[in-house]
Amino acid sequence: MAEANAGFPTDAKRPLLREGVLHADLCVIGAGSGGLSVAAGAVQMGASVVLIEKHRMGGDCLNTGCVPSKALLAAAHAAQVVRSSGRFGVNGHEPAVEFAKVHAHVHGVIAAIAPHDSVERFEGLGVTVIRAAARFTGPQEVEAGDQRIRARRFIVATGSSAAVPPVPGLAETPYLTNESVFDLTDRPDHLLVLGGGPIGIEMAQAFRRLGAQVTVLERAGILPKDEPEAVAILRTVLRREGIVLHEGAQIAAVRRAANGVEVELGDGTRIAGSHLLVAAGRRPNLQGLGLEQAGIATTPRGITVDAGLRTTNRRVFAIGDVAGGPQFTHIAGYHAGIVIRNALFGLPAKVDYAALPWVTYADPELAHVGLTEAEARTAGHPVTILGQDLAGNDRAQAEAATEGLIKVVLGKGGRILGATIVAPRAGEMIGLWGLAIQKRLKIGAIACSLAPYPTMSEISKRAAGGFYTPTLFGSRTRRLVGLIQRFLP
């Protein structure tokens, strides 16, 4: 979402119309998270800005991604609290889920946030908003509807869409993606989820907790980019809640079956369901942009950019999912800051993913930042691993939420390289480790910090303290203390 101030008069510099062409300092293509952040920031810094959006303001994040998915997860969490409250001596029971009201909640959240990303707000800031598809007609010009735009710099922020794998029969079979699953007003009887990445796992648990049967089909292992120990905990939770996981599944075919769908696996197994959700990755939105007319190189991953997010056309930058890098909303916002520094101030800002965080918003959440153990070893670091189980945390015991862990990857001299946390609200806890990595801190900085008691975040301090345990409580320390005590008055 855009993060600039609003709601006050502006004397923003406006684009100029000369001989039928609109001239601006910046032209932003795509009004998703990254594009909105660039537009809002740049116009308030004194640049004239044209923002072009052919579909919905707010892009995928607001309308079909982060916002509706987290709203659905919140409803699912509420259902699970009712279902599992018996462990606290409270009358736990199977909740009655009115799925149409869940749908209303999800879309009510979207509606509540939408004004922040609206045309009216951005026009009030001084941005010229054009609702049309954009297409480059040359290296320095874009056409949107019947309007031509020339700008000193262009920013392509068109995002990505759900990738549809080449599975036989899929094109002829009704299926859902993130662009349609939140439009359901009736709960699926049995949801088949094609893909075991973060989106697939989040939706699988949400729909299961809301009362649907759920089967996940993943050709590798679920959450393959995360630490295996962390994934193992989440896998156990998902299976205990009744989600059927088929890992290493080869999809041979998909077809209509009765009133639903059927998936045939490579070994001949057939799995029937009422609905199919395809969550098998993302593809960059490049179609129809005329990038070749502007001399902008692309690959199947997205637009080719350098470390400063500049494309092969020096006037054009690309940010967010379309730039072919990590596909997270917070990365689009991070990219926006890099581009503003480059495009407005001419500063040599470059991306640095050393402290890149990501979170799978299951329950418990799985949060990670920096390098995994495998990545650190592959990079040649002398690796030290620290860890703590959540069961040793007093707050976790009080809340009967003891399934989880922290794993910290250290390099030479105790420098922090990466961290993984599995815990309730792990996404809120991982930021400490991201800051430590960004500032190139050593583990002592965390070990010496003061954490409030009782909180789950204490697990970070306890894990860090483990680095010093062998020395602090070793024989050498005991001898030293004994010697000192002999001379103390």
Which parts are annotated binding residues? Answer: 70, 158-160, 195-202, 218, 281, 321
Residue 92, Cβ neighbours under 10 Å: how many? Answer: 14
Percent helix, strand, coil in the chain, to 5, is 35, 25, 40
Separation CA 335–CA 342 (nearest Å): 11
DSSP letter at 93? -
Tokens of 72: 């659905």
Separation CA 393–CA 458 (nearest Å): 7
Binding-site entries for NAD(+): 195-202, 218, 281
Separation CA 121–CA 6 (nearest Å): 7
Binding-site entries for FAD: 70, 158-160, 321
Query: How many C-alpha atoms does 115 have within 13 Å on its Cβ side?
Result: 4
Separation CA 38–CA 27 (nearest Å): 10
b/e 361-397 (16+ beta carbons within 10 angstroms → b) = bbbbbbbbbbbbbeebeeeebebbebebbbeebebbe
Separation CA 373–CA 377 (nearest Å): 6
E strand or H helix that includes residue 241: none
Tokens of 259: 């009133």
244 touches 215 (CB < 8 A): yes
What is the amino acid identity at position 255? R
β-pair partners for 284: 160
